[in-house]
């Protein structure tokens, strides 16, 4: 094997570590007590009591020396901050969208967009809406409709682009609903709710053509745009020799705008933006931004946050970083597959998704098998993931309960935080929990809100 092959096939962190954070070890008895005190909801655990924290990759990454240097030189002016113009230039250089509206994070961009364009009786099609996107669509009175391809609902199917939107179902939805009731077509890259699966350039282009044919705006949920670009480079014919930034620019060229949580592929701890080409829509969105976020040249972000994002957007497109990032996820997936642990295949860009419906096949969907297995990971090894199943998506707008199409435990990797030894430990915890799966029972919801209940619900174990 030559050096290039070794670099391609071996995990080596493409950075040096110059600052470290201590993590605390707890006993299993301590973790059982802590989990009970938290109402059996990992969201309600204190971070200091978690050993490997994979609850989310949103805002949990490590920033680079370049980003910290930008933070020191930031401009905190209320209006006309030079840090905003650096952010605007960075976003425009990558996306080419005319208007850049900063927000404190991605859900604020979603709130502004859907409050402005959507209303009762409308339908917003997507490949798969994530939790906050769905909540904002439904809060506006509209329906969030998921139209992912059938392969995207099959955990063991190895289709290379399982995040693709079903084009026939999109056309059927437009014919059924009518163009006047579809304020926007969304596509999430990568498809977070569906296992972190990518969307092909061919599919993005086709969705764009359908949107243009029917004169419907087309927006991208772009929070993991760089990871999606890497999958296109490595899986789609004709892109293997293109740089990730070229691929990203082509992706955005097919859209009319995007929402962005810069806490993911912006490589920042906070921040986001809404970007678009429409002058009329931008004016409406900026008017609402002043009411809910702040003046349009800071929009809920400090100057130093804007500097971090402006630099981080380009760092996320670095080939060495992306190769390491995607290979690290695949490394864990390979170890688990060899041990027989059912996971979503192929592994996604930011997380490994465990198939709890198969792991805990004896637990009914409305007793929340993914929640149960996620809690087992914490009890056994101090690992915190997140359920993407019927607690997150089972509650319907009318108040009824419906099992989610998949019961997944998402283990989302913070960017540039954990090393290979952490991943090896993580694999041992998951395999150990899998070997004890027959001893695990379900849960019921003791209390919780009607919207986004997984964040704060308190649970009770059933029969274990």
Q: Kindly report, residue by residue over 29-62, the tens digit of the pLDDT.
A: 999 999 999 999 999 999 999 999 999 999 999 9
133 with 45, same domain: the answer is no
How far is residue 300's CA from residue 308's CA, in Å, rounded to a whole number? 14
Choose the final residue of a domain: 296, 316, 336.
316
Domain check: are 40 and 72 in the same one? no
pLDDT at 340 over 70: yes
Q: How far is CA 365 from CA 43, 193, 369, 406, in A?
A: 20, 17, 6, 9
CATH code of the domain covering residue 382: 3.90.1150.10
Q: Is residue 16 part of a domain?
A: no
**Alpha helix (H) residue ranges in 38-155:** 65-72, 82-95, 106-117, 131-139
Cα–Cα dist 229/153, whole Å: 22
Percentage with pLDDT > 90 across the chain: 86
Domain that holds residue 105: 65-316
pLDDT at 6: 55
**Is the Cβ–Cβ distance between 64 and 408 less than 8 Å?**
no
User: Has residue 5 been placed in a domain?
Assistant: no
Task: Name the residue among 154, 156, 151, 155 with its Cα closest to residue 200.
Answer: 151
d(CA 115, CA 141): 10
The reply to whether 36 and 115 lie within a common domain is no
**Residue 188 domain-assigned (yes or no):** yes
300 and 179 both lie in a single domain: yes
Same domain, 129 and 261: yes
CATH of the domain at 188: 3.40.640.10
E strand or H helix that includes residue 390? helix 390-393
Q: Same domain for 94 and 140?
A: yes
Domain shared by 178 and 117, yes or no: yes
Are 125 and 235 contained in the same domain?
Answer: yes
Tell me the mean pLDDT in the region 177-186. 97
212 within a domain of the structure (yes/no): yes
Pairing of strands 257-261, 218-221: parallel
Q: Do the domain assignments include residue 125?
A: yes
Residue 59 confidence (pLDDT): 94
CA distances from 232 to 187, 237, 247, 285 (A): 15, 8, 8, 32
Of 266, 287, 316, the position where a domain reaches its end is 316
* 208 in a structural domain: yes
pLDDT for residue 157 is more than 80: yes
Angstrom distances, CA of residue 26 to CA of 49, 108, 380, 399? 7, 36, 10, 39
Pairwise CA distance, residues 318 & 320, whole Å: 6
pLDDT the model gives residue 393: 76
Give me the number of domains the chain comprises: 2
Query: Which residues share a beta bridge with 100?
Result: 275
Q: Concatenate the DSSP letters of all residues of 1-31 into one string.
A: --HHHHHHHS---SS------------HHHH
Same domain, 246 and 161: yes
Looking at residue 241, what DSSP letter applies?
T
- Domain boundary among the residues 295, 316, 337 is at 316
Do residues 284 and 374 share a domain?
no
> Is 97 found in the same domain as 199?
yes
Does residue 289 surpass a pLDDT of 90? yes
pLDDT at 58: 93
In a shared domain, residues 326 and 299 = no
Q: Torsion angle, CA of 77/80/82/83, rounded to 10 degrees? A: 70
Residues in contact with 2: Cβ distance below 8 Å, sequence separation at least 6, in sequence order:
none
- Residue 318 exposure: Cα atoms within 13 Å on the Cβ side: 16
Residue 305 pLDDT > 70: yes
Average confidence (pLDDT) over 255-283: 97
Residue 18 within any structural domain of the chain: no
- Whether residue 39 lies inside any domain: the answer is yes
């Amino acid at each position: 094997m030559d050096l290039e092959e070794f670099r391609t096939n071996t995990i080596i962190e493409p950075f040096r570590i110059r600052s470290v954070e201590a993590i605390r070890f707890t006993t299993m008895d301590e973790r059982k007590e802590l989990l009970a005190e938290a109402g059996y909801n990992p969201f309600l655990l204190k971070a200091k009591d978690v050993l490997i924290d994979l609850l989310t990759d949103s805002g949990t990454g490590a920033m680079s020396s370049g980003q910290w240097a930008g933070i020191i030189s930031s401009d905190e002016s209320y209006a006309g901050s030079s840090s905003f113009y650096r952010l605007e230039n960075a976003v425009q250089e990558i996306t080419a969208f005319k208007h850049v509206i900063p927000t404190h994070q991605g859900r604020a961009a979603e709130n502004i967009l859907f409050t402005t364009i959507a209303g009762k009786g409308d339908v917003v099609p997507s490949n798969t809406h994530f939790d906050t996107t769905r909540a904002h669509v439904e809060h506006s009175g509209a329906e969030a409709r998921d139209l992912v391809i059938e392969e995207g609902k099959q955990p063991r199917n190895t289709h290379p682009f399982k995040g693709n939107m079903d084009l026939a179902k999109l056309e059927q939805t437009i014919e059924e609903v009518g163009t006047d009731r579809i304020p926007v077509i969304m596509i999430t890259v990568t498809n977070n709710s569906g296992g972190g699966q990518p969307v092909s350039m061919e599919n993005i282009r086709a969705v764009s053509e359908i949107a243009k044919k029917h004169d419907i705006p087309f927006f991208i949920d772009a929070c993991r745009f760089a990871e999606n670009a890497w999958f296109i480079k490595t899986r789609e014919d004709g892109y293997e020799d293109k740089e990730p930034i070229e691929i990203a620019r082509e992706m955005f060229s097919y859209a009319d705008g995007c929402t962005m949580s810069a806490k993911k592929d912006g490589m920042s701890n906070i921040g986001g933006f809404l970007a678009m080409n429409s002058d009329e829509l931008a004016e409406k969105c900026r008017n609402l931004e002043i009411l809910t976020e702040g003046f349009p040249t800071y929009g809920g972000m400090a100057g130093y946050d804007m500097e971090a994002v402006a630099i981080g957007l380009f760092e996320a497109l670095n080939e060495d970083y992306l190769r390491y990032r995607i290979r690290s996820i695949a490394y864990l997936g390979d170890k688990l597959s060899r041990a027989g642990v059912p996971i979503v295949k192929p592994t996604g860009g930011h997380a490994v998704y465990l198939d709890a419906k198969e792991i805990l096949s004896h637990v009914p969907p409305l007793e929340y098998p993914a929640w149960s297995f996620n809690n087992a990971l914490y009890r056994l090894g101090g690992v915190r993931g997140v359920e993407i199943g019927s607690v997150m998506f089972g509650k319907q707008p009318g108040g009824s309960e419906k099992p989610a199409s998949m019961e997944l435990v998402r283990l989302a990797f913070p960017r540039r935080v954990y090393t290979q030894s952490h991943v090896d430990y993580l694999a041992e915890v998951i395999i150990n929990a899998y070997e004890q799966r027959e001893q695990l029972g379900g849960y019921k919801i003791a209390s919780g809100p009607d919207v986004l209940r997984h964040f704060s619900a308190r649970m009770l174990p059933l029969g274990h």
